[in-house]
Amino acid sequence: MTRRTVITGGSGFIGTNLVGSLLGAGHEVVNIDIAAPRDRSHRPVWRSADVADRSALARIVADVRPTHVVHLAARTDLGGTTANDYAVNPVGTANLLAVLDDIAELQRVVVASSLLVCRNGYLPTSDIDYCPTTAYGRSKQHVEELVRGWPGPWVITRPTSVWGPWFGTPYRDFFDRVLAGRYVHPGRRRVDKAFGFVANTVVQIEALLDRGPSGTTHYLADRPAYRIDELADEIADAAGRRRPRRVPVAALRVAALVGDAARRMRLWSEPPLTRFRLENMLTASAYPSEQLDRLVGPLPHTMAEGVGVTLDWMREHPYRDR
């Protein structure tokens, strides 16, 4: 049977890379997204629809009759403060699961959740050990609960700090600041983070579409892990720029308070530093990966290779549409 893959949110960052990879491998792909594709070459496979509109979603799904689905469509910024701000996340998921109930050909649904179903730096004791501290994180907990209650063949993914071609906030900003000499590393702290170069993330998602048991949850991250200062230094070295300076954490906390105040006063919608971003920089993260590592095997790209690919892409795409 021919594999037909529907990707919701295929016009976004990870979605753009996944659509490109699947098309390159000769698969049938349909991208359902309210936004036009970032990569204009993907327009022929784009179907404009909002996942919050169940009837529109049902028409497309009934027409395509997918064998595989990757659900990426979501509001993912941290600017909202209430459940209503992120209502599209559980509503869109509920709509998708409902319309997929009628697709007999369906073999696997991979749903993107978030690390923020738990507070930053917390390692949950089980897949249902939740402790979100943001409205976004609570919306993704709701998404996971909906998926876990659905009888179909599902897998949940929790992408880590993913970066690479077609990215936007926050990691394009991170690359831009390093290249402009405006990024500084907090003191001498060693901070090991769970990062993912997007091409490796796509390989992991594709593996979960085809292999492994249903009803499982996986963190998507590069192996081996690397530190945020190693990533920043690699960006600077590859671009022939000076490596980032190190600044005392106390000074950065003051700058983060200023950033929070500027956002509250609507003087700056995306200040370069906020308390949330600083705490993220200062908090180490590591997540279990043994099951996914067995499914995927060695990832194809090192961090240095990913940086090189990303810098090449940035030279070709100096401006962001969104």
Distance CA 244, CA 233 (A): 7
* Domain identity same for 146 and 233: no
Please, what is the end-to-end C-alpha distance for the chain in angstroms? Answer: 37
Query: Measuring CA to CA, which residue among 243, 235, 206 is closest to residue 310?
Result: 235
Q: Which pair of structure tokens corresponds to residue 159?
A: 């992408």
For residue 78, the model assigns a pLDDT of 86
Distance CA 282, CA 304 (A): 22
CATH of the domain at 319: 3.90.25
Give the residue from 110, 139, 159 where a domain finishes.
159
Q: At what angle do helices 88-100 and 54-64 cross, to 10 degrees?
A: 40
Distance CA 81, CA 251 (A): 27
Looking at the DSSP bridge assignments, the partners of residue 185 are 246
Residues sharing a CB contact under 8 Å with residue 217, sequence separation 6 or more, in sequence order: 113, 127, 144, 155, 156, 157, 158
For residue 291, the model assigns a pLDDT of 92
pTM of the prediction?
0.92
Confirm if 242 and 318 have CB atoms less than 8 A apart. Answer: no
pLDDT in tens, the chain (322 residues): 679 999 999 999 999 999 999 999 999 999 999 999 999 999 999 999 999 999 999 999 999 999 999 999 999 998 899 999 999 999 999 999 999 999 999 999 999 999 999 998 888 999 999 999 999 999 999 999 999 999 999 999 999 999 999 999 889 999 999 999 999 988 887 788 899 999 999 999 999 999 999 999 999 999 988 999 999 999 999 999 999 999 999 999 999 999 999 888 888 877 878 888 888 788 888 888 899 999 999 999 999 999 999 999 999 998 765 5
Q: Is residue 207 part of a domain?
A: no
Residues sharing a CB contact under 8 Å with residue 232, sequence separation 6 or more, in sequence order: 174, 178, 183, 185, 243, 244
* Domain identity same for 123 and 173: no
Sequence-ordered alpha helix ranges (H) in 115-166? 135-148
**3-class secondary structure, 190:** coil
Q: Which pair of structure tokens corresponds to residue 158?
A: 């929790």
Looking at the chain, the number of H-run helices and the number of E-run strands are: 11, 13
Distance CA 164, CA 309 (A): 8
Query: Measuring CA to CA, which residue among 113, 108, 100 is closest to residue 57?
Result: 100
* Domain identity same for 30 and 146: yes
* Domain identity same for 63 and 86: yes
* Domain identity same for 32 and 129: yes
* Residue 94 lies in domain: 4-159
For residue 153, whether the previous peptide bond is cis, meaning omega lies within 30 degrees of 0, is: no
For residue 283, the model assigns a pLDDT of 82
* Domain identity same for 50 and 137: yes
Q: Is residue 209 part of a domain?
A: no
Confirm if 113 and 143 have CB atoms less than 8 A apart. Answer: yes
Specify the number of domains making up the chain.
2
Sequence-ordered alpha helix ranges (H) in 165-274? 171-180, 198-210, 228-239, 249-264
* Domain identity same for 70 and 82: yes
For residue 321, the model assigns a pLDDT of 56
Strands (E), 74-152: 108-112
Q: Is residue 277 part of a domain?
A: yes
C-alpha distances (whole Å) from 225 to each of 87, 117, 231, 287 are: 33, 21, 11, 10
Distance CA 17, CA 319 (A): 18
Q: Locate tokens 């109930």: which residue?
A: 101
CATH of the domain at 107: 3.40.50.720
| DSSP secondary structure code for residue 170 in this structure | T
Q: Is residue 213 part of a domain?
A: no
* Domain identity same for 151 and 33: yes
Q: At what angle do helices 88-100 and 135-148 cross, to 10 degrees?
A: 20
Q: Which amino acid is at 102?
A: D
